[in-house]
Structure 1
Amino acid sequence: MAKAKKLPSGAWRCLAYSHTERVLDPKTGKMKDKRIYESFTADTRAEAEFAASEFQLNKSKTNLSKRREMAHKTLREATTMYIEMCETIKRSPTTTQDYRCILKNGFQDLWDIPLKDINADLLQDAIIAEAQRPANNRDRKPISAKRLKNEWGLVTAVLHKYRKDLDLDDIQLPTVTRRMVELPPARQVIEIIRGTEIELPVLLAAWLSFTMSEIKGLTKSQSVNGDYLTIRSVVVNTSDGPYRKELAKNETRNRRHRIPVYIKELIDRVPGDEIVPMSSSALYHKWIRLQKKHSMDPITFHDLRHLNASVMALLRIPDKYAQERGGWKSDKVMKGIYMQTFSEERVKVDDIMDTYFNEIMQHEMQHEKEKAL
Structure 2
Amino acid sequence: MPVFAQSVCGCFTKEMPFSHPNSKSVCLSSLKTIFPSIGNRKERDTMAKAQKLPSGNYRVRVTDPETGKRQSFTAPTKREAELAALEWLGGKKVNADSRTVGECIDDYINSKVNILSPTTIDGYRKCRRNCLSELCPLPVSKLTQLDVQKHMNMLALTYSPKTVRNAHGLLVSVLNTYSPGTVLHTTLPKMQKKIKQLPPAEQVVAAVIGSEIELPCMLALWEGMRMSEIRGAKRSDLNGNILTIHETVVTVEGQNITKDSTKTFDSTRQISLSPYIMELISRLPEEQEHFTVLSGQAIYKRFSRLLQSNGIAHMTFHDLRHMNASTMLMLGIPDKYAMERGGWSSPHIMKSVYQHTFSSERKLVDNAVDEFFMNIIDKTDTKTDTNSNE
Q: Would you call these one fold, judging by a TM-score over 0.5?
A: yes
CA distance in 2, matches of 1:127, 1:268: 52
**CA distance 1:286–1:315, change in 2 (3 Å):** same
CA distance in 2, matches of 1:101, 1:367: 47
In structure 1, the partner of 2:151 is: 126
4+ aligned runs moved over 6 Å, structure 1? none
After TM superposition, the structure 1 = structure 2 runs for residues 278-357 of structure 1, keeping only pairs within 5 Å, are 278-357=294-373
Q: Does 1:83 align with 2:97?
A: no
1:65 Cα deviation from its structure 2 partner: 3.6
- Whether the aligned pair in 1 keeps the contact of 2:102 and 2:133 (CA below 8 Å) is no
CA distance in 2, matches of 1:158, 1:257: 39
Please state which structure has a larger fraction of its residues in helix.
Answer: 1
Letter of the 1:227 partner, please give it.
N
Q: How many residues align?
A: 302
In structure 2, the partner of 1:209 is: 224
In structure 2, the partner of 1:6 is: none
Could you tell me which runs of 5 or more consecutive residues in structure 1 were left unpaired when the two chains were aligned: 1-60, 133-141
In structure 2, the partner of 1:165 is: 181
Output one character per residue of 1:155-211: Cα deviation in whole Å (capped at 9) or x when no partner. Answer: 11101111222223x322112223332111111111111111111111101100011
In structure 2, the partner of 1:268 is: 282
In structure 1, the partner of 2:99 is: 73
Output one character per residue of 1:232-278: Cα deviation in whole Å (capped at 9) or x when no partner. Answer: 21111111411111101111111111010000000111111111112
TM-score under structure 2 normalisation? 0.72
CA distance in 2, matches of 1:125, 1:344: 58
In structure 2, the partner of 1:102 is: 127
Letter of the 2:370 partner, please give it.
D
Secondary structure (helix, strand or coil) at the match of 1:283 reads: helix
Residue 141 (structure 2) aligned to one of 82, 95, 116: 116
**CA distance 1:95–1:275, change in 2 (3 Å):** same
In structure 2, the partner of 1:255 is: 269
Secondary structure (helix, strand or coil) at the match of 1:301 reads: coil
In structure 2, the partner of 1:92 is: 117
Q: Does 1:197 align with 2:197?
A: no
1:333 Cα deviation from its structure 2 partner: 4.9
Letter of the 1:193 partner, please give it.
V
Larger Rg: 2
CA distance in 2, matches of 1:99, 1:64: 34
With 176-185 and 262-271 compared, the bigger mean Cα shift is at 176-185
Letter of the 1:123 partner, please give it.
V
Output one character per residue of 1:20-59: Cα deviation in whole Å (capped at 9) or x when no partner. Answer: xxxxxxxxxxxxxxxxxxxxxxxxxxxxxxxxxxxxxxxx
- Whether the aligned pair in 2 keeps the contact of 1:320 and 1:333 (CA below 8 Å) is no
**CA distance 1:369–1:78, change in 2 (3 Å):** same
**CA distance 1:193–1:64, change in 2 (3 Å):** farther
Residue 381 (structure 2) aligned to one of 365, 369, 373: 365
Letter of the 1:284 partner, please give it.
Y
Q: CA RMSD in A?
A: 2.3
Secondary structure (helix, strand or coil) at the match of 2:151 reads: helix
Q: Does 1:151 align with 2:176?
A: no
Secondary structure (helix, strand or coil) at the match of 1:235 reads: strand
Letter of the 1:228 partner, please give it.
I
With 205-214 and 363-372 compared, the bigger mean Cα shift is at 363-372
In structure 2, the partner of 1:8 is: none
Secondary structure (helix, strand or coil) at the match of 1:128 reads: helix
1:332 Cα deviation from its structure 2 partner: 4.7
Output one character per residue of 1:70-125: Cα deviation in whole Å (capped at 9) or x when no partner. Answer: 2x2221121121122122x3432222222222222223332222222223333222
Could you tell me which runs of 5 or more consecutive residues in structure 2 were left unpaired when the two chains were aligned: 1-87
Identity %: 36
In structure 1, the partner of 2:64 is: none
CA distance in 2, matches of 1:336, 1:154: 32
TM-score under structure 1 normalisation? 0.75
**CA distance 1:64–1:363, change in 2 (3 Å):** farther
Secondary structure (helix, strand or coil) at the match of 1:187 reads: helix
